[in-house]
Structure 1
């Protein structure tokens, strides 16, 4: 089984899109649409989002290797930032988006230079042959950058 895409609900698509495109390299825009419209009729979107007269903007982006993210900001119901305590490891649900990077030192420096919050102020090794650090997207979603340098890493 492989993943088709990961959907990230954002509170401000115009703020989040440059983060994912410019910093993380999801440069290829596969779709930019406001719904209901191209993908969903209004009754299906109402059922999916759980409200009458649902409306959302969806932008699907991909990196050069084909990894795909769906960034979505709903107008109805209005997307708001989750409280920080809901994003912590003490709560259930998906907690981090882990990405492979070829040069973790470069990304670490770019993240810090951009003033983006990091979970640790250093790069660490979760397994032999790996280097990693964690940082946050504009809405506080946790992203783990991983550089794999050896075959010992369990996959």
Structure 2
């Protein structure tokens, strides 16, 4: 079994996401961070999973983990701390292939950025508004973004699209 996916030969048609899983080094630290960020308590906290079948489903010889789940209006966030085997921290810079980011929709990036800075969140840079000549398609002009990381370096974003998001039906 290869870790690299092959070239798909057919369209599957998946259209609804259930959750995103984020591997963390310290579950308690990450729960505190996401609790502050989201303003809510996890719906599941300090649960465990282990066993040979579960390990094999993840391509591991063994596994034992603890996790917590936060539910947003449209997506769950699973924070997963692998106890056995514990992994090495990822080098999650935005330009590294395989790196993902999780984006949160807000009404005004500059206002939320200011509130987050006051609350102690660190950002990778200042908020930015997409300008003419720098973004295509043109209807993205005026979109506001700001980027930050969680305690393990997971890339996070806040975004306020000009004209709002077109949500899939």
TM surpasses 0.5? yes
TM-score by length of 1: 0.78
Alpha-carbon distance between aligned partners in 2 of 1:81 and 1:115, rounded to the nearest angstrom = 23
Within 5 Å, which residues of 2 pair with 1:3-152?
3-25=17-39, 27-32=40-45, 33-36=47-50, 42-47=51-56, 48=58, 50-52=60-62, 54-63=63-72, 65-82=73-90, 86-120=91-125, 122-126=126-130, 127-151=140-164
* Deviation for aligned residue 1:34: 0.9
Assess if the C-alpha contact under 8 Å between 2:93 and 2:99 holds in 1. Answer: no
Alpha-carbon distance between aligned partners in 1 of 2:129 and 2:75, rounded to the nearest angstrom = 24
RMSD (CA atoms) = 2.2
* Deviation for aligned residue 1:49: 5.4
Which secondary structure state, in structure 1, belongs to the residue aligned with residue 42 of structure 2?
A: strand
Assess if the C-alpha contact under 8 Å between 1:104 and 1:147 holds in 2. Answer: yes
Assess if the C-alpha contact under 8 Å between 1:88 and 1:95 holds in 2. Answer: no
Assess if the C-alpha contact under 8 Å between 1:45 and 1:55 holds in 2. Answer: no
Aligned residues: 142
Question: 4+ runs of 1 displaced by more than 6 Å?
Answer: none
* Deviation for aligned residue 1:108: 1.0
Instruction: In structure 1, list runs of 5 or more residues that go unmatched.
Output: 37-41
TM-score by length of 2: 0.72
Report which of the two structures shows the higher radius of gyration computed on alpha carbons: 2
